[in-house]
A and B are shown apart, each in its own frame.
Chain A
């Protein structure tokens, strides 16, 4: 299974709810405003770092770039993918659960 989170964790509880329900071993893709959850050194970073221990977490490159977020600012362990990578994840990981 893969989960997508497209809203900022500072604005909405989508990330919190996703992390509460996402099973260990599932993949999480941050896209659109959800990419802000990938930043290190924020009030949200600790929960994302903790989630990395049991989930693969990805961030959509084009959305990071659009928001001026360099890869050096990201939490270590988060993998950046493009839309092609997003497609590959959807193929490999099974059912997609969108947290809006």
Chain B
């Protein structure tokens, strides 16, 4: 790797939200954004993850990828709490439109109606969309 370029981030705490709108496995976005959430934990920012639209499927229980040959990363969402990323939000409308309930999910989440999630998004300093 070539020479690092380092920015001064000392003492800055920003509100970071990772926005997940895509289903898992059909594309790599879910997996790679999860990797970036885990790495971001080291920076001790005010981090949250929002699941909306097909993103809610990312945290559905019962994933078995054996026959598909895909790498199973669904269980990795359980690691988030261990990395102090505990603010996980799911949009109520997206969940219901897909016939899911919080009991279907692999992690504990806060279910918020669109208006409240929208308000939360508006409070963020950084939004990273996968």
A and B: interacting chains: yes
| A93 CB, nearest partner CB in chain B, Å | 11
Contact A96 B127 (CB under 8 A): yes
| A32 CB, nearest partner CB in chain B, Å | 14
B53 sits at the interface (CB 8 A): yes
Q: Determine which of A21, A95, A99 lies in contact with B114 in the assembled complex, contact meaning CB atoms within 8 Å.
A: A21
| B83 CB, nearest partner CB in chain A, Å | 23
Give the contact-size bracket for chain A.
10 to 19
Q: CA of A1 to CA of B119 in the docked complex: distance in angstroms?
A: 11
- Quick one: given A13-B53, A17-B53, are A99 and B129 in contact (CB under 8 Å)? yes
Per-residue CB contact flags for chain A residues 1-43 toward chain B (1 = under 8 Å, else 0) read 1000000000001000100111100100000000000000000
Contacts of A100 in B (CB 8 A): 21, 129
Contact A17 B21 (CB under 8 A): yes
Contact B125 A17 (CB under 8 A): no
A54 sits at the interface (CB 8 A): no
Across the two chains, which residue of chain A brings its CB closest to B52?
A: A17
Contact B118 A20 (CB under 8 A): yes
Across the two chains, which residue of chain B brings its CB closest to A26?
A: B122
B59 sits at the interface (CB 8 A): no
Q: CA of A21 to CA of B129 in the docked complex: distance in angstroms?
A: 14
Contacts of B100 in A (CB 8 A): none
Nearest first, the 8 A-B pairs at minimum CB distance are: A21-B118, A98-B129, A97-B127, A20-B114, A1-B122, A23-B122, A23-B118, A21-B114
- Contacts A/B (CB < 8 Å), 12 sampled: A17-B53, A21-B118, A21-B121, A23-B119, A23-B122, A95-B126, A96-B127, A97-B121, A97-B127, A98-B129, A100-B21, A100-B129
